Amino acid sequence: MKQNSKKKKFPKDPNIKYVESLWEDPEFLRLYKKSHFRLGVAIEIARLRHDKKMSQKKLAQLLDTSQAVISRIERGHENFSLDRLMKIAEALDAEAKVTLVKKLTSPRKR
């Protein structure tokens, strides 16, 4: 069977220059990194809970909180302490680890 060697061309997005410019905005980068980190933690909590076949309601009971709070945590919409993270990890029979690493300096800033 012969494959079509022509690649599909996508229409040019008129907003692409604006979107690309966002990566140069320090405030945008700060907010992006913050939300990216929070969402990564949220996804990992949800994954662990699903792996244990545990409902949000059951996790909430173990943590003495509401199912709505667990839902907000798993969507990345809840700001919580490291103490709460440790309790969540314990309830999920997991271990919480936080690592701080030195920022890499870009060649332009040297």
State how many domains the chain has: 1
CATH number where 93 lies: 1.10.260.40
One pLDDT digit (tens) per residue for the chain, 110 residues: 555 556 777 667 778 888 888 888 899 888 888 888 889 999 999 999 999 999 999 999 999 999 999 999 999 999 899 999 999 999 999 999 988 888 777 665 54
> Quick check: is 6 in a domain?
no
> Quick check: is 58 in a domain?
yes
The answer to whether the pTM exceeds 0.75 is: no
Range of the domain at 51: 18-109
Q: Within a 10 A sphere around the Cβ of 92, how many other Cβ atoms?
A: 19
> Quick check: is 9 in a domain?
no
> Quick check: is 34 in a domain?
yes
> Quick check: is 29 in a domain?
yes
Give residue for tokens 């990566």: 23
Q: Comparing C-alpha atoms, which of 93, 95, 59, 97 is closest to residue 78?
A: 59
> Quick check: is 10 in a domain?
no
